[in-house]
Amino acid sequence: MKKQLLFIDFEFTMPEGKKNGIKFYPEIIEVGYISVIDDKITETFSSFVKPNLFPILTERCKRFLNISQDNVNQGISIQDLGKKLHEATVLHDTNVITWGNMDMKVLKHNCEAMKIDFPITGKFRDLSLEYKSFFGNQNQTGLWNALKEYGKDGTGKHHKALDDAKTTYHIYQLVEKDKQYMEKPEPAKIGDLVDFSKLLNKTSAI
């Protein structure tokens, strides 16, 4: 079974307020992920997703995410999203990597609301916490701000699910490279410090 890194990002519905006494909660309306195996991108996936309990997008949501009602109306169902995520993770030893913990929380909540099993098989890593711990930051840094701290720009457009997944992968590569650089080298051995062939030649000449 091969090891897989799966970088996932979701975009969610956003409220204007409460409706008819029912408290709004976020639903997934866009998914993007990147599968990385043996340091190579083996698959990318992007799709809009139909919301269920609050199917009509608020004006705030459409403005902030630059997404239309037609986009989500033509999206896949949460059930089909579950099948796709299960297929993407079940065949590999998978580490699912997100920026923050909200993506998996909302996915779990959406699955519970629709009475479907949580689809992802694998371990979970919150890269934003790893970033915070590695650099000793007091607060968690936003995805694209983290990349700016490296002097680089994000991929594509912020708050587009696949572009954010690609940006998460980019930060992962930078952080892993820094971790390797910061690792302490093994103590030098005497043989690394002394060229014994030259030493023997000198002693034989005496």
What is the rounded average pLDDT of the residues 60-85?
A: 97
Average pLDDT (54-65) is: 95
The pLDDT of residue 192 is 55
Active site residues: 11, 159
User: What CATH number is given to the structural domain containing 159?
Assistant: 3.30.420.10
DSSP string, 125-164: EEHHHHHHHHHT-SSPPPHHHHHHHTT-PPSS-TT-HHHH
- Domain containing 137 equals 3-205
Give Dmax (Cα) for the chain.
99
Model confidence at 170, pLDDT cuts 50, 70, 90, reads very high
Mean pLDDT of 14-24: 73
Per residue in 118-159, pLDDT tens?
Answer: 999 999 999 999 999 988 888 889 998 998 899 988 888 999
Q: Is the dihedral of CA 68, 71, 77, 82 positive or negative?
A: negative
pLDDT tens-digit map of 88-107: 999 999 999 999 999 999 99
Name the pLDDT band for 21 (thresholds 50, 70, 90). low
pLDDT at 206: 53
Query: What is the DSSP-derived secondary structure letter of residue 19?
Result: B
Percent of the chain with pLDDT over 70: 85
Task: Give the total number of structural domains in the chain.
Answer: 1
Q: Judge whether residue 185 has pLDDT over 60.
A: no
Q: Which residue has the higher pLDDT, 198 or 106?
A: 106
**More reliable by pLDDT, 195 or 52:** 52
At 198 the pLDDT is 55
For residues 38-62, average pLDDT: 96
